[in-house]
């Protein structure tokens, strides 16, 4: 199963065995419910970085990874080696926590189904995330779009100019405090 090997490889990025490991015991029908319950419990406190296994039927992906922007490239390299293709990149504005989240979706051209979501958070006043265009060329438009909508700077992107918005746009419409 590709899911287990990828999960193992990704977990190595997080050296300290944090509470995340509790969720590692593998697959059962009950496991999904447990993850769902955990999710609800975690609502109050910010999530700790790590790999979570999710119930595919409930949310539509298998592995949910949260990490610091610094570890992003390492995680994406693991997925690149495991033959994942990039599906999309997007942002979420968590204005209450004063953070912007960048969400990466990866999937595989394969019958061994495994969807991986990578999330990374960056402070809202100065949002910066390294670009992954050097690994996945197709991330370029997705990153430009995210830059348009949220103002997140993808450091090292070769051509970070507005894509969908007008070329002189200086506003970011998907920020929650955006006023047209």
What residues line the site for other proteins (CB under 8 A)? Answer: 39-40, 43, 57-61, 83, 85-88, 90, 92-93, 103, 105, 107, 109-111, 113, 115, 117, 136-138, 140-141, 149, 162-166, 173-174
Q: Compute the least distance from the CB of residue 16 to other proteins, in Å.
A: 25
Rounded least distance, CB 76 to other proteins, Å: 12
Distances (CA, A) of 78 to 3, 11, 24, 142, 148: 12, 11, 19, 20, 28
Greatest Cα pair distance, the chain, in angstroms, is: 52
- Choice between 7 and 15, CB closer to other proteins: 7
Please give the Cα distance from 56 to 137 (Å, whole number). 28
Residue 14 or 133: the one with the smaller Cβ distance to other proteins is: 133
Strands 63-67 and 116-123: parallel
Least Cβ distance, residue 32 to other proteins (angstroms):
13
Comparing CB distances to other proteins, the nearer of 7 and 115 is 115
Least Å distance between CB 139 and other proteins?
Answer: 9
Which of 12, 83 has the CB closer to other proteins?
Answer: 83
Q: 70 phi and psi, to 5 degrees?
A: -65, -30
Report in angstroms how near the CB of residue 176 gets to other proteins at its nearest: 9
- Cβ-based neighbour number of residue 114 at 10 Å: 22
Cα–chain center distance at 128? 14
The enclosing H or E element of 101 equals: strand 99-108
> What SS3 class is residue 179?
coil
Map residue 16 onto helix, strand or coil.
Answer: coil
Q: Nearest approach, Cβ of 175 to other proteins (angstroms)?
A: 10
């Amino acid at each position: 199963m590709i899911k287990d090997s990828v999960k193992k490889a990704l977990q190595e990025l997080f050296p300290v065995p944090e509470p995340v490991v509790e969720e590692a015991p593998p697959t059962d029908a009950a496991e999904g419910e447990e993850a769902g319950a955990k999710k609800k419990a975690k609502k109050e406190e910010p999530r700790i970085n790590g790999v979570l296994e999710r119930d595919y039927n409930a949310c539509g992906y298998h592995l949910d990874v949260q990490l610091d922007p610094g570890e992003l490239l390492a995680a994406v390299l693991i997925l690149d080696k495991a033959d994942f293709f990039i599906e999309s990149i997007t942002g979420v504005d968590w204005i209450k926590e004063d953070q912007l989240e960048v969400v990466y979706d990866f999937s595989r051209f394969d019958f061994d189904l495994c969807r991986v979501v990578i999330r990374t958070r960056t402070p809202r006043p100065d949002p910066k995330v390294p670009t992954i265009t050097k690994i996945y060329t197709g991330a370029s438009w997705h990153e430009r779009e995210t830059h348009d909508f949220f103002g997140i700077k993808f450091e090292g992107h070769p051509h970070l100019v507005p894509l969908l918005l007008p070329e002189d746009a200086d506003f970011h419409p998907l920020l929650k405090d955006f006023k047209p």
